[in-house]
């Protein structure tokens, strides 16, 4: 996916090509696995030289870069990416250093974020997702969608029912839009979590179920309204159209 494609896509569903530069094989394998679980394509490199020799570097949408590399150090690779190659893709810098000066040096050299080792799966997922959202904002949406009595204003990010506005929190709105756009189909829990929380593990909490319950109550999702929200055990949620009501 090139830079033009990225700018036009929604950051919540964006799948990127990531360059992972780490000389420790065990750490590299773990990080590669975690990034692939987020849905990204990953190319791995054991040194800065290997990365810089793998033209064209513009094919990468994000770099995860270790500081303590053999040969050319990560900070020098970072400066090469920013100054010499003039690449705008975000760079997440990983290091065992945690002194304030090191953080300042990395950010001054062009890093977008800084993670201190040991790196945890959830933290890496959150930092990568945040960097992608910042760097590749979603394209402005226009227009509206209507499903029976429900009307979505995609610009204002608002929902009304029967002409009356329904007050929803941000994630409740996103969940409603996702479910209505997939009406009558089962939306897997993993997909919902990925799109609403950036695929950061919820650590067994019932956040998703709580949001679904609130949405069912606030929107009045009943047979009388034309739509019911069902939990599909072990799979996810289904917004079911009643009496032939369906997609716009």
Q: What does the pLDDT look like over 30-43, one tens digit per residue?
A: 999 999 999 899 99
The total number of structural domains in the chain stands at 2
pLDDT band at 77 (very low <50, low <70, confident <90, very high): very high
Residue 102 pLDDT? 76
With contact defined as beta carbons under 8 Å apart, do 77 and 106 qualify?
no
Res. 201: pLDDT tops 60: no
Res. 114: pLDDT tops 90: no
Residue 3 pLDDT? 39
Q: Is the peptide bond before 56 cis (omega within 30 degrees of 0)?
A: yes
Which stretches does DSSP call E strand in 22-147?
Answer: 41-45, 62-66, 91-95, 113-116, 144-147
Q: Are residues 149 and 229 in the same domain?
A: yes
Residue 4 pLDDT? 36
Would residue 248 count as lying in a domain? no
Task: List the structure tokens of 90.
Answer: 């975000």
CATH number at residue 110: 3.40.50.2300
Q: Are residues 130 and 47 in the same domain?
A: yes
Residue 10 pLDDT? 36
Res. 57: pLDDT tops 80: yes
Q: Are residues 70 and 106 in the same domain?
A: yes
Domain of residue 83: give its range: 3-135
pLDDT tens digits for 151-160?
999 888 899 9
Res. 140: pLDDT tops 60: no
Q: Are residues 7 and 106 in the same domain?
A: yes
Q: Are residues 178 and 235 in the same domain?
A: yes
Would residue 59 count as lying in a domain? yes
Would residue 247 count as lying in a domain? no
CATH number at residue 165: 1.10.10.10
Q: Are residues 69 and 104 in the same domain?
A: yes
Would residue 108 count as lying in a domain? yes
pLDDT tens digits for 165-177?
999 888 899 899 9
Would residue 182 count as lying in a domain? yes
Mean pLDDT of the chain: 83
CA 146, 191, 166: angle at the middle one, nearest 5? 35
Q: Which residues contact 37 (CB under 8 A, 6 or more apart)?
A: 199
**Bridge pairing between strands 186-188 and 236-241:** antiparallel
Q: Are residues 236 and 154 in the same domain?
A: yes
Question: Where among 135, 164, 193 does a domain terminate?
Answer: 135
Would residue 161 count as lying in a domain? yes
Residue 28 pLDDT? 95
Q: Are residues 16 and 129 in the same domain?
A: yes
Q: Are residues 130 and 164 in the same domain?
A: no
Q: Are residues 105 and 76 in the same domain?
A: yes
Q: Are residues 102 and 24 in the same domain?
A: yes
Q: How many other CB atoms sit within 10 Å of the CB of residue 92?
A: 22
Question: Where among 103, 135, 167 does a domain terminate?
Answer: 135
pLDDT tens digits for 203-246?
445 678 888 999 999 999 999 999 999 998 878 899 998 865 55
Question: Where among 73, 106, 135 does a domain terminate?
Answer: 135
Q: Are residues 155 and 131 in the same domain?
A: no
């Amino acid at each position: 996916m090139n830079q033009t494609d990225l700018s036009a896509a929604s950051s919540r569903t964006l799948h990127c090509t990531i360059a992972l530069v780490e000389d420790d094989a065990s750490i590299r394998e773990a990080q590669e696995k975690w990034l692939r679980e987020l849905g990204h394509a990953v190319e791995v490199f054991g040194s800065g030289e290997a990365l810089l020799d793998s033209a064209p570097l513009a094919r990468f949408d994000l770099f995860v870069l270790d500081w303590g590399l053999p040969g050319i150090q990560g900070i020098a690779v970072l400066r090469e990416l920013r100054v010499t190659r003039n690449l705008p893709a975000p760079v997440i810098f990983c290091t065992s250093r945690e002194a304030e000066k090191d953080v300042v040096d990395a950010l001054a050299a062009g890093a977008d974020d800084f993670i201190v080792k040991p790196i945890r799966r959830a933290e890496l997922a959150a930092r990568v997702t945040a960097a992608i959202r910042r760097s590749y904002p979603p394209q402005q949406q226009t227009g509206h969608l209507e499903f029976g009595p429900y009307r979505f204003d995609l610009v204002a990010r608002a929902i009304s029912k029967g002409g009356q506005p329904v007050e929803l929190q941000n994630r409740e709105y996103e969940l409603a839009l996702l479910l209505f756009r997939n009406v009558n189909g089962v939306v897997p829990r993993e997909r919902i979590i990925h799109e609403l929380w950036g695929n950061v593990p919820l650590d067994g909490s019932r956040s998703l179920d709580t949001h679904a319950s609130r949405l069912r109550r606030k929107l009045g999702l009943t047979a009388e309204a034309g739509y019911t929200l069902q939990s599909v055990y072990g799979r996810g949620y289904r917004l079911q159209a009643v009496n032939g009501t369906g997609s716009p």
